[in-house]
A and B are shown apart, each in its own frame.
Chain A
Amino acid sequence: MSDFLETTVDKFTFKVATDRSYNAEGVWAKEENGRVRIGLSDFVQQRSGDVAFAEIKPAGTALAVGEELAVIETIKVNISYTSPVNGKIVEVNPAMKDAPEAINQDPYGAGWLVVLEVADWGAERAKLLDPQAYFKIMKGQAEEEVKKL
């Protein structure tokens, strides 16, 4: 069970799970038994809106940091998300095909995107943000978004 850092900006409440690492885009990475599960943060899913479709690179795809991992189509926009780590996709969340709304409903759980095989998680993690650092960035991004409303 994840613990969360939480902030409320205007009428919106955003959570950051404390058991994983993040990039500044809000893509999270969580090590599990030698592999790394990837997904989107709560702030990212709320900012993006209801997900209509998720097109994710297939299993077997090798990804370098910054290469496109998935394109998410929401009721507002189409957004491309990039891999936060170097690795090879070994599993794609089957729910993304028929029920991509899992990204909105459970971004840190059932709404995960892929599992990657990563050669050196320690080195990869060192390049990512810890939850506190991402929380600070996310809070700033959320405050900027609210100003646009």
Chain B
Amino acid sequence: MNAPIQKVIIVPCSGIGKPYGSVSREAAYEVTEDLRPGQTQLVPLALLVLGDEESRSIVATCPAVTIDGCKLACAAKMVQQSGGTIAQEFAVLDVYRRYKDLKPLGIAELNEGGQKLARVLAKEVTAVVDGLITGKQGGENA
């Protein structure tokens, strides 16, 4: 029998200067700081790219949810390269396609649509986290 999952790692896109990357990070902040602070931990993609030992160790021991801003899927690729297990991959574009009225714009500061899209995405990520922690299958997008 597998040990219960204590913590889920959230790895967002590092696309600084791009709206979709900003949405991924805003969603990750909301999950890790507001919605499920005790059950999740954000690992910055940059630390994985740099080979930070602590970050690689965390990713290697806990399931990860990745949130990518574009099809390059850097977050998902880096988790895999770091020896991690991806429990669920999210792509901001896929979520936006379901919420066409929430077009993300802005770079340093997301527009209202982008902020709302981040909140929608955060809820979907939270559903997956809850599924992993409780041992049930993840949320509606899992």
Interface string of A101-144 (1 = CB under 8 A from B): 10010000000000000000000000000000000000000000
Complex contact A52–B97 (CB within 8 A) = yes
Least CB separation from A78: chain B residue: B103
The residues of A that contact B60 with a CB separation of less than 8 Å are none
Complex contact B71–A50 (CB within 8 A) = yes
Q: Nearest Cβ in chain A — how far from B68, in angstroms?
A: 10
Complex Cα gap A75–B117 (Å):
14
The residues of B that contact A81 with a CB separation of less than 8 Å are none
| Chain A: interface size category | under 10
Complex contact B93–A53 (CB within 8 A) = no
Complex Cα gap A83–B69 (Å):
31
| B interface residues, how many (CB within 8 angstroms) | 10
Tell whether A66 is near chain B: CB-to-CB under 8 Å: no
Complex Cα gap A52–B70 (Å):
11
Interface residues of A (CB under 8 A from B): 49-50, 52-53, 75, 101, 104
Complex Cα gap A49–B19 (Å):
13
CB under 8 Å from chain A, chain B span 57-116:
69-71, 93, 96-97, 100
Interface string of B10-49 (1 = CB under 8 A from A): 0000000011100000000000000000000000000000
Contact A49:B100 (CB < 8 A) given known A75-B20, A75-B93: no
Complex contact B70–A53 (CB within 8 A) = no
Complex contact B93–A52 (CB within 8 A) = yes
Q: Among A50, A53, A75, A101, which residue has the most Cβ atoms of chain B within 10 A?
A: A75
Least CB separation from A51: chain B residue: B93
The residues of B that contact A101 with a CB separation of less than 8 Å are 71
Given contacts A50-B71, A50-B93, A75-B69, 12 further A-B contacts (CB under 8 A): A49-B70, A50-B70, A52-B93, A52-B96, A52-B97, A53-B100, A75-B18, A75-B19, A75-B20, A75-B70, A75-B93, A104-B71
Q: Nearest Cβ in chain A — how far from B105, in angstroms?
A: 11
Complex Cα gap A49–B93 (Å):
11
Complex Cα gap A133–B69 (Å):
35
The residues of B that contact A52 with a CB separation of less than 8 Å are 93, 96-97
Least CB separation from A100: chain B residue: B97
Complex Cα gap A101–B69 (Å):
14
Q: Nearest Cβ in chain A — how far from B84, in angstroms?
A: 24
Q: Nearest Cβ in chain B — how far from A104, in angstroms?
A: 7
